[in-house]
Structure 1
Amino acid sequence: MAAMARARGLMSSAVRARCLALCTSSTSSRSTAPAAVRLHHQQQQQVLWGQRRALSTQQEQDPQAGDPMAWTQLQTTAVARGCKNVQDVLSALRGVDASFRVGDETTWGSVDKALQASGLNCEMKLGLAHDILGLDGRLSTVRPASAAVLMHVAKRCTDTPALAVSAQYSLGVLTLEGQGMERDPEAAIKFFGEASKQGHALSMYQLANMFLTGNGIKKDPPKAAQLLKLAVDRGLAQASTTLAEMYRVGHGVPQDNDLSFHYYQDAVDKGDPWAKVGIATMYNSGHGTEQNFDKAFQLNKEAAAEADIPLAHHNLGTHYFLGKGVQQSFEQARKCFEKAAGQGFAHSCFNLANMYMQGRGCEQDLAAARALYERAAHEIPDARELIAKIDQLQNPEQQQDDK
């Protein structure tokens, strides 16, 4: 009991300092590379073919491993699309393995030849590429096989530019991620660049991300900002959000709270839940707009409900903890921090640990606090000091012996 009491005294100021800092600058943990973090999330969301499943170790070792019914399913869908030489197409696709590179004319050439004789129009061929991707997790060669089909569409369907551009974008994503095939950022830059020249907003967005992170190309935040502005002009909501973050912190553009708020609002109007988290930060701080905790709370609540964004859950926890924009409730704060901590958000782990130290919104539990500090320590150096203090509280006799 004495250790518990000392823990409460120890943590009273630490809890307040951490929560207050995060309430007024809720995205501070991303300020060193704000757009890169934001874009990483959106990259995951913008792949055209839906959710992806990881390949098993067995599949990675054996190119033909996986569900044998998957090829049968692909045959059925190819026939349904009107493929005249389905066996030739499938045979060519079976020859594509994880070592395939987009520039490999030998492997791609066999697929190209089979598809030219398939009788499928460009739209059906693009659909076939997405049919193949729909087998992700069932065949280890899904991505390279799909890439081979997409290469055909990109090169042979120039008379239908929209389909060729869509294929180029998809190839960019595949070569950038490299899951199930060799990763090739330089090829991704080429594909995104070609599609961007045709006015493809998502390709501009992805290319901007690469300029921001230096992924396969020299970092160039101003160039990224130029590409994002072009994507914004074409109505891409997440481009507005990223540009808002860049203006908020002055990354690649002059720092400008008014422009930051403008672009956040544009993205909110277009339906991007991440923008709601960003603009809520500005309502919290009063930068670029009048301070309004009620509106900040509501925006974070909407973003958490719409997209389960860890930062939104964390910010809600901070609102509940401080009673800003909502009635104070340590129990509700704990629940919100738990949701974000469950997704690996370090600052929520830290705040939740503080609450277990204090016994606020929960029973005091030093062991639980210590475990949460361990999870937060990779991002928050203060956590290590608090772990040491918990160890000292729990083992005072050992500490005395060490002296």
Structure 2
Amino acid sequence: MSSYEMLVDEIVSLMGMKGSYAGIEKLESMRREGDTNATTCLGELYLEGAGVIADTEMGISLLQEASEAGNPHADDTLGRVYLYGSYGVPEDKPRGHAYIEKAANAGIPESIGTCACDYYYGKGVTKDLEKGFEWALRGAKLGDPVSNALCGDAYQTGEGATRNIPLAIQHYREHLKSNSENTDVMCDLAICLADIGGEYGTFPSQDDLTEAFGLLGKAVEMGDVRAHCLLGIMYGDGNGVPQDFELSHHYIELAANNGFEPAQELLGRFRRTMRGKWTL
């Protein structure tokens, strides 16, 4: 845990025990002594209106003060404010990215993940798949879940990196350790494990197929439409499960009815047998 995170925990605890004023007073005192973590924390409280009356102008001013003094956590917060246009601040992606990359260069894992995405998807900066992937590798080594997901995407698609399905699986699994509710990553991991669609030419083990089926089942329970479609494909192909065109049609139809275009296309391939059963 960084010194900044420790301070945040301390202030939250103090405000809980003695009230908001005690926490604000301590931060103001530390700020006067030149503590940039305190200035950053104070700025964020003004943005959120936590313990003080919300004041975006004051919050931004305090964060800029901390940023100019070299605090990377202030850079990270300012970057996100401008990237996403938060707290009524006009969106300015190039300015936001500049703050994020400054924080990333200081080694803040979350900033590294955001910086990686900025380059990989061209947000606030010229799109550069390879540079985005390089940043993601740095973040993944620090355990950043966003970086792990992006590394998985790059290895799965071969965009920004040489396609490598085993490495994609590794990074997706790492992401899910800290973000177990991300159904997009569950679906991508399932595709890699089971080679759904047969694009990769791999030979999944029964353990891999079982894991993929479990991931999709969980994502389906959480309402993910792509997971419905993928589960339907597995049933239609008999991929790790007994082939069942009725279940295949059921799941694909649910995805199609919820606007998932690939499912709508697949649905048109089903035909009724003479006995009224679905087949492909």
- Whether TM exceeds 0.5 here: the answer is yes
SS in 1 for 2:33: coil
Partner of 2:177: 305
Instruction: Compute the displacement of 1:326 (Å).
Output: 6.2
Residues of 2 paired with 1:315 and 1:353: CA distance?
15
- Pick the structure with greater CA Rg: 1
Instruction: Compute the displacement of 1:221 (Å).
Output: 1.0
Residue 48 (structure 2) aligned to one of 174, 199, 204: 174
SS in 1 for 2:90: coil
After the TM superposition, which residues 284-363 of structure 1 pair with which residues of structure 2 at under 5 Å, given as runs?
284-308=156-180, 310=182, 311-322=184-195, 324=200, 327=204, 330-343=209-222, 345-352=224-231, 355=234, 361=241
Q: Higher relative CO (CA 8 A, sep ≥ 6), structure 1 or 2? A: 1
Residues of 1 paired with 2:52 and 2:252: CA distance?
41
Letter aligned with residue 336 of structure 1: L
Residue 164 and residue 48 in structure 1: after superposition, are their counterparts in 2 closer, same or farther (change >3 A)?
A: closer
Instruction: Compute the displacement of 1:354 (Å).
Output: 5.1
Residue 342 and residue 227 in structure 1: after superposition, are their counterparts in 2 closer, same or farther (change >3 A)?
A: farther
Q: Give per-residue Cα distances to partners, 1:185-230, cap 9 Å, x unaligned.
A: 5554344333323323223222212212212211111111100111
Instruction: Compute the displacement of 1:253 (Å).
Output: 0.9
Residue 217 and residue 344 in structure 1: after superposition, are their counterparts in 2 closer, same or farther (change >3 A)?
A: farther
Residues of 1 paired with 2:209 and 2:106: CA distance?
44
Partner of 1:377: 258
Partner of 2:104: 232
Residues of 1 paired with 2:178 and 2:210: CA distance?
22
Partner of 1:149: 22
Aligned residues: 257
Residues of 1 paired with 2:173 and 2:54: CA distance?
38
After the TM superposition, which residues 53-68 of structure 1 pair with which residues of structure 2 at under 5 Å, given as runs?
none
Instruction: Compute the displacement of 1:244 (Å).
Output: 1.2
Letter aligned with residue 186 of structure 2: H
Partner of 2:128: 256
Q: Give per-residue Cα distances to partners, 1:223-253, cap 9 Å, x unaligned.
A: 1110011101211112111111111122211
Residue 195 (structure 1) aligned to one of 66, 73, 79: 66
Q: Give per-residue Cα distances to partners, 1:237-272, cap 9 Å, x unaligned.
A: 121111111111222111112211211111112221
Instruction: Structure 2: state its 5+ residue gaps.
Output: 273-280
Residues of 2 paired with 1:274 and 1:293: CA distance?
18
1:132 aligns with 2:6: no
Instruction: Compute the displacement of 1:344 (Å).
Output: 5.1
Q: Give per-residue Cα distances to partners, 1:373-397, cap 9 Å, x unaligned.
A: 38x837x4566x58x98xxx9xxxx
Cα contact 1:171–1:191 (8 A) shared by 2: no
Cα contact 2:112–2:136 (8 A) shared by 1: yes
Percentage identity across paired residues of the two chains: 19
Cα contact 1:126–1:150 (8 A) shared by 2: no
Instruction: Structure 1: state its 5+ residue gaps.
Output: 1-46, 50-122, 136-141, 394-403
Instruction: Compute the displacement of 1:151 (Å).
Output: 3.0
Partner of 1:85: none
Partner of 1:10: none
Partner of 2:276: none
After the TM superposition, which residues 28-43 of structure 1 pair with which residues of structure 2 at under 5 Å, given as runs?
none
Residues of 1 paired with 2:169 and 2:190: CA distance?
10
Cα contact 2:15–2:22 (8 A) shared by 1: no
Residue 274 and residue 367 in structure 1: after superposition, are their counterparts in 2 closer, same or farther (change >3 A)?
A: same
Partner of 2:38: 164
Letter aligned with residue 327 of structure 1: P
Residue 326 and residue 281 in structure 1: after superposition, are their counterparts in 2 closer, same or farther (change >3 A)?
A: farther
Letter aligned with residue 77 of structure 2: Q
Residues of 2 paired with 1:48 and 1:309: CA distance?
24
Residue 167 and residue 284 in structure 1: after superposition, are their counterparts in 2 closer, same or farther (change >3 A)?
A: closer
Q: Give per-residue Cα distances to partners, 1:104-148, cap 9 Å, x unaligned.
A: xxxxxxxxxxxxxxxxxxx8x983642434x7xxxxxx9xx43x3
Residue 163 and residue 302 in structure 1: after superposition, are their counterparts in 2 closer, same or farther (change >3 A)?
A: closer
Instruction: Compute the displacement of 1:331 (Å).
Output: 4.1
With the length of structure 1 as denominator, give the TM-score of the two structures.
Answer: 0.52
Instruction: Compute the displacement of 1:343 (Å).
Output: 4.7
Letter aligned with residue 262 of structure 1: E
After the TM superposition, which residues 96-107 of structure 1 pair with which residues of structure 2 at under 5 Å, given as runs?
none
Residues of 2 paired with 1:181 and 1:342: CA distance?
41
